[in-house]
Amino acid sequence: MTIRPPAQRTLGLVGILILLVTLFPLFYMAISSFKPEAEIGAFPFRFFPQEWEPQNYSQLFEDGTYLRSLLMTFLGASAFSIGGIAINSMAAYAFARINFRFKKFFFTYVIVTMFIPFMSIFVTSYIVVFSLGMVNTLSVLIVPALAAGANVFFFRQFYLFFPRSLEEAAVIDGCTQFGIFVRIFLPNSLSIFVIIGIQRFMGYWNAYIWAVMTIVSERLRTVMQTLSYFRTDYGNNWGVIMAGSTIAAIPPLILLLAFQRYIIQGVKITGMK
């Protein structure tokens, strides 16, 4: 039997403690989704319900509104992630590997956008999308934030460390710049794509304020918008909110578990650079 040193055991215990503290809100949310309304927030506090009731879930799905918002949010988040990866990675490749006039100026312009709080341009952004007729369409949730300075910067830093010899060999074989990007850079960027893709997916999935400002139609509501409608002037339906929040947390968790190997690999790569 292998005996672990005290320092390693201590680190293991600290890791377990952090894991429990991190997962406790999710676990409590899932448990509370089976509680009747009177037990949620009742005193004295009870972690587990006296009687497990699935009515919150049946009420959640009774008219199909929540299920439709889940589907629309998933489709929108997928398009937002894939489109953002494509646009930002190509822009980053141009800044990292292609020489053109005013390159430093344009890259500085892109980087500056990283330091502008989105809350400070909410009103002007709304005026722009309203003038373009994008309000109350799915595109208003996707197009305005497809290009992101932080994503371009992240991709560019990764592409800077690709050896020039690979490009030179590809040029000798007759590859164009786009061919080099597709055949050399894309196949070696999977870990970075996963990190950026999940980050963008989570950003879209959890978006609320911009969606409330620009989406009115019930068929286009995001899942966070739909959950907010269970809060009324007559009180909060916490049981249904807990049930809806539990289901809404599942897709991001599945993504994290499915791609955790690539996420760890990407973190290692960025750490070495």
Beta bridge partners of 231: 236
Does some domain include residue 96?
A: yes
Does some domain include residue 35?
A: no
Does some domain include residue 266?
A: yes
Please state whether 136 falls in left (phi above 0), alpha (psi between -120 and 50) or beta: left
Closest CA to 170 of 183, 158, 156, 157: 183
* 164: containing domain: 66-272
**Cα gap 189→265, rounded to integer Å:** 11
Does some domain include residue 184?
A: yes
Does some domain include residue 46?
A: no
Does some domain include residue 161?
A: yes
**Cα gap 252→46, rounded to integer Å:** 28
Please list, in sequence order, all residues whose beta carbon lies within 8 angstroms of the beta carbon of residue 97, skipping any fewer than 6 positions away.
159, 162, 167, 177, 180
Q: How far is CA 87 from each of CA 142, 223, 246, 262, rounded to the nearest angstrom?
A: 13, 26, 32, 21
Which tokens sit at 197?
């893709």
Does some domain include residue 81?
A: yes
CATH number at residue 242: 1.10.3720.10
Does some domain include residue 148?
A: yes
Q: Structurally, how many domains does the chain consist of?
A: 1
pLDDT tens for each residue of the chain, 273 residues long: 455 566 777 888 888 899 888 888 888 889 988 888 777 777 777 778 887 888 888 888 888 889 999 999 999 999 999 999 999 999 999 999 988 899 999 999 999 998 888 888 888 999 999 999 999 999 999 999 999 999 999 999 999 888 888 888 888 888 888 888 988 898 888 888 998 999 999 999 999 999 999 998 888 999 999 988 877 644 577 888 889 999 999 998 898 888 887 777 666 555 544
